[in-house]
A and B are shown apart, each in its own frame.
Chain A
Amino acid sequence: MQIVANIIFLSTFYVSFAVGLALVFGVMRTINFAHGEFYMFGGYALWLLINAFTGILPPGATFIVALIVAAGVVGVMGILVQLSIFHRLREQPFSIFMATLGLSYVLQVAVVKAIGPMGQSVPAPFPGFILFEGMVLPIQRLVVFGFTVVMMGGLYLFLMHTDLGRAVRATAQNRTGAMLQGISMNHIALTTMFVGSALAAISGVLMGSVLIISPFMGGEALWRAFIIIIVGGIGSLSGAVVAAFLFGIIDTLMTTFGAGKFAPMVDAIIMLLVLSFLPSGLLGARE
Chain B
Amino acid sequence: MRNTRGIPRLALSAVAGAAALGMAVTATTETASAQETLQVGAIQPQAGDCGQWGIPITRGMQIWADQLNAEGGLLAGDGKRYMIEIKAYDNVCYIPGEELKAGRRAILDDGIKFMLQTFTPGSRQAIAQMTTDHHVLTTSYGAGYLSKDHPYLIGGITGSPAAYMLVASRALTANPDVKRVAIITADASYGLAAKAYFEAGVAAHPDQAEIVYNESYSPDATKDMLGLLTPLMASEPDMICQLGFVPAQLAIMVETVEQLGFKGVYCAEGFTMPIILKRVPAEVLAGRMYFGYAFEASEASFSPKGHELYTTYVEQFGEDQWSPYTPIGYAAIGTIEAGIRMSPSIDSEVVMKTLLGAEVVDHPIFGPSRWGGEEIYGANNHLLTPLPIYNLGADGNLVLDHLLDHAAWWEQHMAVALPVLEAGGQVFR
Q: Which residues of B contact A257 (CB under 8 A)?
A: 231
Contact status A251-B318, CB under 8 Å: no
Contact status B51-A261, CB under 8 Å: no
Q: Considering the complex, which residues of chain A in the window 104-129 have a beta carbon less than 8 Å from any beta carbon of chain B?
A: 108-109, 112, 116-124, 129
Which of B215, B227, B318 has the most CB atoms of chain A within a 10 A radius of its CB? B227
Q: Considering the complex, which residues of chain A in the window 248-266 have a beta carbon less than 8 Å from any beta carbon of chain B?
A: 251-252, 255-258, 260-264
Which of A7, A119, A211 has the most CB atoms of chain B within a 10 A radius of its CB? A119
Supposing A10-B224, A10-B227 touch, asked if A116 and B51 sit within 8 A by C-beta, the answer is no
CB-contact partner of B215 in A6, A136, A210, A258, under 8 A: A258
Contact status A216-B49, CB under 8 Å: yes
CA distance in complex: A131, B279 (Å):
19
User: How many whole Å from B224's CB to the nearest CB in chain A?
Assistant: 5
Supposing A118-B321, A216-B51, A261-B218 touch, asked if A141 and B227 sit within 8 A by C-beta, the answer is no
Q: Which residues of A contact B251 (CB under 8 A)?
A: 121, 212
Check if A68 is an interface residue, CB within 8 A of chain B.
no
Supposing A220-B223, A256-B231, A260-B228 touch, asked if A120 and B49 sit within 8 A by C-beta, the answer is no
Check if A13 is an interface residue, CB within 8 A of chain B.
yes
Contact status A214-B230, CB under 8 Å: no
Check if A231 is an interface residue, CB within 8 A of chain B.
no
Contact status B248-A120, CB under 8 Å: yes
User: How many whole Å from B333's CB to the nearest CB in chain A?
Assistant: 20
Q: Which residues of B contact A112 (CB under 8 A)?
A: 47, 51, 55
Check if A194 is an interface residue, CB within 8 A of chain B.
no
Contact status A116-B227, CB under 8 Å: no
Check if B275 is an interface residue, CB within 8 A of chain A.
yes
The B interface is mostly helix, strand or loop, or mixed, namely helix
Contact with A along B309-348 (1 / 0, CB 8 A): 0000000011011010000000000000000000000000
Q: Which residues of A contact B51 (CB under 8 A)?
A: 112, 117, 216
User: How many whole Å from B120's CB to the nearest CB in chain A?
Assistant: 17
Check if A213 is an interface residue, CB within 8 A of chain B.
yes
CA distance in complex: A264, B248 (Å):
22
Look across to chain A and name the residue whose beta carbon is closest to the beta carbon of B45: A117
Check if B260 is an interface residue, CB within 8 A of chain A.
yes
CA distance in complex: A220, B320 (Å):
23
Check if B356 is an interface residue, CB within 8 A of chain A.
no
Q: Considering the complex, which residues of chain B in the window 158-214 have a beta carbon less than 8 Å from any beta carbon of chain A?
A: 187
Supposing A118-B56, A124-B279 touch, asked if A213 and B227 sit within 8 A by C-beta, the answer is no
User: How many whole Å from A152's CB to the nearest CB in chain B?
Assistant: 20
CB-contact partner of A120 in B55, B217, B275, under 8 A: B275
Check if A98 is an interface residue, CB within 8 A of chain B.
no
CA distance in complex: A256, B217 (Å):
11
CB-contact partner of B218 in A2, A10, A138, A260, under 8 A: A260
CA distance in complex: A5, B317 (Å):
40
Check if A3 is an interface residue, CB within 8 A of chain B.
yes
Look across to chain A and name the residue whose beta carbon is closest to the beta carbon of B49: A216
Q: Which residues of B contact A213 (CB under 8 A)?
A: 248
Check if B354 is an interface residue, CB within 8 A of chain A.
no
User: How many whole Å from A55's CB to the nearest CB in chain B?
Assistant: 14
Contact status B224-A212, CB under 8 Å: no
Look across to chain A and name the residue whose beta carbon is closest to the beta carbon of B59: A117
Look across to chain A and name the residue whose beta carbon is closest to the beta carbon of B323: A118
Contact status B320-A118, CB under 8 Å: yes
Contact status A261-B252, CB under 8 Å: no
CA distance in complex: A3, B278 (Å):
27
Contact status B227-A122, CB under 8 Å: no
Contact status A251-B48, CB under 8 Å: no
Q: Which residues of B contact A116 (CB under 8 A)?
A: 317-318, 320-321
Check if B249 is an interface residue, CB within 8 A of chain A.
yes
Contact status B224-A251, CB under 8 Å: yes
Contact with A along B45-68 (1 / 0, CB 8 A): 001110110011000000000000
CA distance in complex: A220, B221 (Å):
11
A sample of 10 more A-B contacts (CB under 8 A), given A214-B248, A255-B231, is A13-B223, A117-B56, A118-B320, A129-B259, A138-B259, A212-B251, A212-B252, A213-B248, A221-B223, A260-B221
9 closest A-B pairs (Cβ-Cβ)?
A: A119-B248, A212-B248, A6-B227, A261-B218, A261-B187, A116-B321, A260-B221, A121-B248, A117-B55
Subset of 12 A-B contacts with CB under 8 Å: A3-B230, A7-B227, A10-B223, A116-B320, A118-B247, A118-B323, A120-B275, A212-B249, A251-B221, A255-B224, A260-B228, A261-B218
A positions within 8 Å CB-CB of B: 2-3, 5-7, 9-10, 13, 108-109, 112, 116-124, 129, 136, 138, 141, 210-214, 216, 219-221, 224, 251-252, 255-258, 260-264
B positions within 8 Å CB-CB of A: 47-49, 51-52, 55-56, 187, 215-218, 220-221, 223-224, 226-228, 230-231, 246-249, 251-252, 255-256, 259-261, 272, 275, 278-279, 317-318, 320-321, 323
